[in-house]
Amino acid sequence: MKRIFITILFFVASFVIAQIKYVPTDYVKIQDAIDDSKDGDVIIIEEGIYYQQINFKGKAITVASEFFIDDDTSHISKTIIDGSQIISQDSASLVYINSGEDSTSVLTGLTLQNGKGTYGKWTYENVYGGAIEIYQSGATISYNIIKENKCDLDVELADWGGAWGGGIDCWELPKHKSIIIHNNIFKNNMIKSHIAQAMGGGILLMDIYGKARISSNKIINNQVESIKSGYGGGICVAGANNKAQIVIDNNYIASNSTYSLLGSTKGGGIACYFSDPIIRNNIIVYNQTKYPTTIASFDAFGGGIAVFWYIDYWQSDFPVCEDPYNLVSVIENNTIAYNNDKKAGGGVAFRSVGARLKNNIIGCNFANEQNNKQIKIEYKEVSEDKARTVYVDYCNVEGDCEELSKFHKAVGNINIFPEFKDEENWYLKKELSPCIDNGDPNEKYKDLANPQYIDQAYFPALGSLRNDIGAFGGPYSKWAEMGKPTNIKNKSTLLMDNFYLSQNFPNPFNPSTIIKYQIPHPSAGGVKSEKANVKLVVYDILGRVVTTLVNEKQKPGSYEIDFDGSELTSGIYLYRLRAGDPASSTGQVFVETKKMILIK
């Protein structure tokens, strides 16, 4: 491979020099390439095992495998950053993003394994970020395999402290920054504290002021073990400002666990501690909380999901949450099944918080308390008459769950076995499942429409457009299997929540490449169901128009177009999408420019 230097004229009065750097072709060490990079550069790590650590050092760069260039996912498992040979126990995370970066700092297409986390002392000892440590910064972490990393706080190293984030630890995200964690695999990561607390076997978000999204990941068989408190086997969100925006959606969260020897254990799949994220369209199955069976008074709940707080730890540990008395989680269209809690709330559990549960499957979960196998609601930090209400409506909840009618008049709930087609994909049986077309009939909860049969739901949702109870229903589901169209056509109505312009593929290219873009679905982000003005133009490096690919009004949907550069010379070209209309009902206008490289 060769080093490519890119000079780009953006549509402002400045020049930016961007480079693609290859490791080890151009640099033996990944960090050397980072140190020699500027904002906008791309570092491509060629296949191999790298016994190295990296630090983004505040740069808005992309560090990636060759997956970034050709979209071949086989590169991901073959491009490995491995921490097994790290000597220092104090700084044994694999990736550091801790110098004010934002979501423009991208880590993608890599395998991260055998990280051991970083030790730090505040009021007491901590070990955090088994593979990735993000502090007071944002980032985009996508399409990685993050496996077999471990944070272990040993009694020989400290007399009190905690272990945080076996795969990723993101701590103190500022209000103007974003963390995006999507399309990764987290598996077999562990955090272990022989002394005190442990949180977030796969992912930990702590003290969040900004925007965070955990989306479309597989989070499998991650573990939390502690002597005192163990929270969030798969994901833990511990401390969030009431104005923070946190979404956990479209993830497969399975076989994660929490264990505590002497304290409390909560949230085998997801723990929300002093926080109330939106939890939507997830499959949450076979997670569990565990503790020694000899301790009868043990504090445990929420095999699948636990949402809770403790007044004793509010001002001292989590002042980031300004008003825990008004925490209200939104939990919609999830499949929560076969989770296990040793005490109460095998499916979901709430302590002194409000919540709105709608269109969820909550069934086949187990807990020792006879009447609280599926849902547990308790109030210990505030009296019941002053507590925020937990609403459970249009859900399929197994058994005579006393909690449904305890605090409000529940609407639309059913108690019928969901009839899963299988326990691998968790699809519903088309002819038998009572969950099909049985969710909230309100238009805003409609399933995505099949682009060929617009009155039918888009698979794996089934039936008509009325909401399906479970992970595949509703307008935010991204579980659909989509075909590959040719030339330019409306791909489907399964979209992200906003306008989007993708990087062309392949890139570099010869002689043709594909450019994809999206116009929001009517149900996403408040966008109305109207056509948008769309203009897609290709420019040369001097800003001159090469060709106009699209200049028309288009319906909401996902589009792709072939760009043929056969008659052009090698070089750098820019493509610019302008979509929307300031005079429309939404007033949205989207403009984005990306670069592409033609090499003949």
Query: Is the same domain home to 407 and 524?
Result: no
Query: Is the same domain home to 421 and 294?
Result: yes
- Please give the pLDDT value at position 296: 52
- Please give the pLDDT value at position 520: 75
Asked whether residue 244 is domain-assigned, the answer is: yes
pLDDT tier for residue 313 given thresholds of 50, 70 and 90: low
Asked whether residue 116 is domain-assigned, the answer is: no
As a whole-number percent, the residues of the chain with pLDDT over 70 amount to 84
Are the CB atoms for 263 and 291 separated by under 8 Å?
no
- Please give the pLDDT value at position 482: 32
pLDDT tier for residue 467 given thresholds of 50, 70 and 90: very high
Rounded average pLDDT over 500-504: 86
Asked whether residue 589 is domain-assigned, the answer is: yes
- Please give the pLDDT value at position 582: 57
What confidence tens digit (pLDDT) does each residue in 205-239 have? 999 999 999 999 999 999 999 988 899 999 999 88
Q: Which has more pLDDT, 524 or 145?
A: 145
Are the CB atoms for 261 and 299 separated by under 8 Å?
no
Q: Where are the alpha helices (DSSP H) in 293-409?
A: 314-317
Query: Is the same domain home to 432 and 505?
Result: no
Asked whether residue 26 is domain-assigned, the answer is: no
Query: Is the same domain home to 397 and 307?
Result: yes
pLDDT tier for residue 528 given thresholds of 50, 70 and 90: very low
Residue 572 has pLDDT above 60, yes or no: yes
Residue 522 has pLDDT above 60, yes or no: no
Asked whether residue 428 is domain-assigned, the answer is: yes
Last residue of a domain, one of 426, 441, 456: 441
CB burial of 64-82 (b: ≥16 within 10 Å; e: otherwise) equals: bbbbbbeeeeebbebbbbb
Query: Is the same domain home to 350 and 279?
Result: yes
Query: Is the same domain home to 298 and 400?
Result: yes
Task: Give dist(CA 111, CA 117) in Å, integer.
Answer: 16
Residue 13 has pLDDT above 60, yes or no: no
What confidence tens digit (pLDDT) does each residue in 542-564 have? 778 899 999 998 888 788 898 99
Last residue of a domain, one of 407, 424, 441: 441
Residue 454 has pLDDT above 80, yes or no: yes
SS3 (DSSP) at 171: strand
Rounded average pLDDT over 567-587: 76
Query: Is the same domain home to 561 and 418?
Result: no
Rounded average pLDDT over 240-252: 91
- Please give the pLDDT value at position 242: 82
Of 139-153, 179-193, 325-339, 470-484, the one with minimum mean pLDDT is 470-484
Task: Give dist(CA 428, CA 420) in Å, integer.
Answer: 5
Q: Which of 374, 363, 361, 364 has its CA nearest to residue 435?
A: 361
Mean pLDDT, rounded, of the chain: 85
Last residue of a domain, one of 408, 425, 441: 441
Query: Is the same domain home to 499 and 422?
Result: no
Task: Give dist(CA 513, CA 421) in Å, integer.
Answer: 39
The domain of 554 spans 491-598
pLDDT tier for residue 385 given thresholds of 50, 70 and 90: low
Query: Is the same domain home to 425 and 530?
Result: no
Asked whether residue 513 is domain-assigned, the answer is: yes
- Please give the pLDDT value at position 6: 38
Query: Is the same domain home to 348 and 247?
Result: yes
Q: Residue with structure tokens 């994809």?
A: 516
Query: Is the same domain home to 424 and 278?
Result: yes
Residue 409: exposure state from Cβ atoms within 10 A (0-12, 13-18, ≥19) = exposed
pLDDT tier for residue 523 given thresholds of 50, 70 and 90: very low
Asked whether residue 296 is domain-assigned, the answer is: yes
Q: Residue with structure tokens 């080890």?
A: 24
- Please give the pLDDT value at position 320: 79
Rounded average pLDDT over 422-439: 93
Of 162-176, 218-232, 490-504, 557-571, the one with minimum mean pLDDT is 490-504
- Please give the pLDDT value at position 80: 99
- Please give the pLDDT value at position 232: 97
Q: For the domain that residue 512 is a member of, what is the CATH number? A: 2.60.40.1930
Query: Is the same domain home to 345 and 243?
Result: yes
Rounded average pLDDT over 249-262: 94
Tokens for 404? 């449904």
- The tally of domains found in the chain comes to 2
Asked whether residue 234 is domain-assigned, the answer is: no
SS3 (DSSP) at 260: strand
What confidence tens digit (pLDDT) does each residue in 15-54 have? 344 688 999 999 999 999 999 999 988 999 999 999 999 9
pLDDT tier for residue 493 given thresholds of 50, 70 and 90: very low
- Please give the pLDDT value at position 167: 98
